[in-house]
Chains A and B, each alone.
Chain A
Amino acid sequence: MTTIDTGAIGAAVPRAEFRTCRFSGLRIEANAEKLIKFNAVTAVLFLALGGLMGLLVALTRWPAVQILPADWFYLVLTGHGANVLLFWIIFFEIAVLYFAGAVVLGSRLAAPKWAWTGFVLMVVGAVMANYAVLRGDSTVMFTSYPPLQASQWFYLSLVLFAVGALIAVFVFFGTLVVAKAEKTYDGSVPLVTFGAITAAIIAVFTLASGAIILVPTWLWSLGLVTNIDSLMYKVVWWGMGHSSQQINVSAHVAIWYAIAAMVVGAKPLSEKVSRMAYFMYILFLQLASAHHILAEPGMSSAWKIVNTSYMMYLAVMGSMIHGLTVPGAIEAAQRRNGFTRGAFEWLTKAPWGNPAFSGMFLSLVMFGFIGGISGVVLGTEQLNVLMHNTIYVPGHFHGTVVAGTTLAFMAATFLLVPLLFQRDIIWPRLAKWQPYVFGLGAAGISLFMMGAGTLGVPRRQWDISLADAVLRFEFPPAAYLMMGLNGISGVLAATGGVMFIVIIVATILAGPRLDRPGAKLAFPLHDKARERVSTYGSEGTLKLPGTIILVTLFFAAFVLYYFVNWKYLSELWLFR
């Protein structure tokens, strides 16, 4: 495919306009800039829509509030999943790919016309999906498990969106070829671009899985295929559904590295280790759909064990490595910036008032402690039976996708908007608080849903009082308390989300202009002049006591939580 892209632009090489960013020194090409802006702004619009739907879901599941009637609840929940998990995240990821390809490498964007085609297809798909859901005949949840059937427009919209995204991914690959051919950079690609390449390779696998399952399902909704096997659908669908989360992980880890580099001047401890960790994602995530099928009949235990563990947890190992190297790189950089006292001065004196940094670091910590640990426990063959399809599951993935990915993307936006729109953050004092408000809300949502899940509360369910069911069952009062606290956290997260959207939209429309001489950034980038003169590489002279304490804490929490769940399991009824 890349040959097609390079062939297409080969004829029109010289027509690229560049400007150099005064603050970052990056060379930004006009087409790339425009496409990044459009993709990122569209992403934020879908975040607003999907976030509003999320708030309604949280308020409905708050038993004392239960704001929506049942039919609307299920409809809105379907829309919430599609808008935030697919549209917000993938539009933003396309912006990240173009940034990591064209801007970071200082190259022009390959085939901008194809990039626009992809963008238009994605917009058409996303709008059509919302149309299909709001019609009311596609209330099938994000997973759309057959034999439950949505309208044809639902499946078609997702296929169109996937094709558009695939085109964008190939434009990114084309851009890499262009940058290499036009020698816009020297040596190997930067680590951030390497992370973006990882995300893009995974995206191809993911979108292909999506097409393989959604095209026949679409034909089924049209009556052209008589039967979709429910188990087969689940196996292939999760090839898209889970692998796409690995795109998110690759993308937000790349953002962690990028923000750490731009705000505190962090340099990877070892390029080799960080790149190897990314490479593990590519090698092992294809197996990932299995951990959604652990409570299913029909698959052997051997299949479940090998696949759910990503072949011996090697992709988990990739994330654990990033979990060390990112804070490690920050600690090393901060020590070089002069914060050398004790184990944690580098952390306490970090730029916590800069929403890009605080958002990034909160994302790093919460992704590891909340999303990461719960994910491994949930994805263990036997332990899965304790929480499968309870609200523990959304608790887990709000820890990864909201507290992890979304918070990282928001943090990146606070950097990207001034650089690309050349307008400064309009209300820096409000912006300073945004990551904390949103992060606290996201952490609350995750933890309280996980808590309710361990008490058996089902996911995607309108009324846990089961008031209208023939055979009643009472959930314990603690479950109601958890769902109430989840509702309050949802309101908090929504407040953080509104702050984000208002700040970003107002900044784009009316932020102080930065293209005038003498204009300064409210949240400055790393100043090289602050660095002490010393060489530092990856060799043993470097001391990182703070990072050692952090990862030790993480590992202790991981091991403890893992065994606590085995203990819970051992107390269940016996089954084999």
Chain B
Amino acid sequence: MAITPPSNRLWWKEPIHGLEIGWIVISFLWGLFMFFFMIAWHFIGQQNLSTETYRVTTAAYEQKVIDFADEYQAMDENGDYLEEDFVPVVRPPAGADVYILARTYEFWPIVELERGQSYRVHLSSVDLQHGFSLQPTNINISVHPGYEHVMHITPTESGVFGIVCNEFCGIGHHLMTGRIRVVEPGTGDAATGPADEPADDSIQAEG
């Protein structure tokens, strides 16, 4: 019994049941497969989280995001700066560096990307840890203060996407959201945006 000493004092010399050997071999091979599949996905897969990271002070990062928003903030046909719910909409050119800032309790600013284009997205926090959770695609990335995380991201579908914070960051955690707009290439239209979105017909990409 398992609560008494082994009946055979030389238990380590007992032969092993064939079923057990078979299962050990299967478990080991499966473990080996899963191990190598993670490595293989770096070569065959197109979803591998970047590990490119820089140390940055929170003040320096905040300045970078402000500069980014100033440079690329979108304008409507009247030449007025575009905002949604008082948050600026920023429209970087394809391939550009995109900066997103996490702080209690918002992701700032709203960026508008083109489907099928790759961007260098920078992500950091200026206060606490936050969680970047892109919905409804469900991409989830941790955000640390003091670490600037750089990823090459290519949206594969157009529409309006929500960012929800999923790392507890204090009493207003459930207020912390953001938005990414993805438009069809060359149109400037978020193809499947919800009805209450402000009309946005401007096409010109700021350069």
Chain A complexes with chain B:
yes
Residues on A with C-beta less than 8 A from B152 are 574-576
A468 touches B20 (CB 8 A): no
Most buried by A among B133, B149, B170: B133
Chain A residue at smallest Cβ distance from B132: A295
Tell me if A117 is interfacial: C-beta within 8 Å of chain B.
Answer: no
- Asked if A466 meets B47 with Cβ closer than 8 Å, knowing A104-B3, A297-B144, A376-B34, the reply is no
CA distance A318 to B139 in the complex (A): 31
A313 and B34 contact, CB distance less than 8 A:
yes
A335 proximal to B (CB < 8 A): no
Contact B142 A297 (CB under 8 A): yes
A317 at the interface (CB under 8 A from B): yes
Identify B145's interface contact among A230, A376, A458, CB under 8 A: A230
Nearest-CB residue, chain A, relative to B131: A389
Contacting residue for B47 out of A269, A294, A382, A540, CB 8 A: A382
Within 116-170 of B, Cβ neighbours of A (below 8 Å) are at 118, 123, 127-129, 131, 133-142, 144-149, 151-157, 162-170
CB–CB A70/B174 < 8 A: yes
Contact of A458 among B24, B87, B166 (CB under 8 A): B166
Is B175 a contact partner of A312 (Cβ separation < 8 A)?
no
- A residues 306-341 in Cβ contact with B at 8 Å: 308-309, 312-314, 316-317, 320-321, 324-325, 328-329
Nearest-CB residue, chain B, relative to A233: B129
Q: How many residues of B contact A (CB 8 A)?
A: 94
Q: What does DSSP make chain A's interface, helix, strand, loop or mixed?
A: loop
Contact B168 A460 (CB under 8 A): yes
Known: A317-B31, A544-B19. A469 touches B177 (CB 8 A): yes
Interface residue tally on A, bucketed by range: 35 or more
Which residue of chain B lies nearest to A71 when distances are taken between CB atoms in the complex? B171
Please report the C-alpha to C-alpha distance between residue A463 and residue B105 in the assembled complex, in whole angstroms. Answer: 14
Q: Give the CA-CA distance A258 to B19 in the complex, in Å.
A: 22
Q: In the bound complex, do residue A321 and residue B142 qualify as a contact, i.e. CB atoms below 8 Å apart?
A: no
Q: Does A560 contact B (CB under 8 A)?
A: no
A residues in contact with B79, CB < 8 Å: none
A74, A558, A573: which has the most chain B beta carbons within 10 Å?
A573
With A388-B140, A458-B133, A538-B16 known, 20 other A-B pairs at CB within 8 A are A190-B1, A190-B6, A192-B2, A230-B145, A231-B147, A257-B3, A270-B20, A271-B14, A312-B32, A381-B49, A388-B166, A458-B131, A458-B166, A460-B167, A466-B162, A537-B8, A538-B14, A562-B34, A573-B153, A573-B156
Measuring CB to CB, which residues of chain B are less than 8 angstroms from any residue of chain A? 1-9, 11-12, 14-20, 23-24, 26-28, 30-32, 34-35, 37-39, 41-42, 45-51, 53, 84-87, 105-106, 110, 118, 123, 127-129, 131, 133-142, 144-149, 151-157, 162-171, 173-179
What are 15 of the A-B contact pairs (CB < 8 Å)? A186-B5, A191-B3, A257-B2, A273-B17, A329-B2, A376-B34, A384-B140, A388-B141, A454-B138, A458-B131, A470-B177, A562-B34, A566-B41, A573-B153, A576-B50
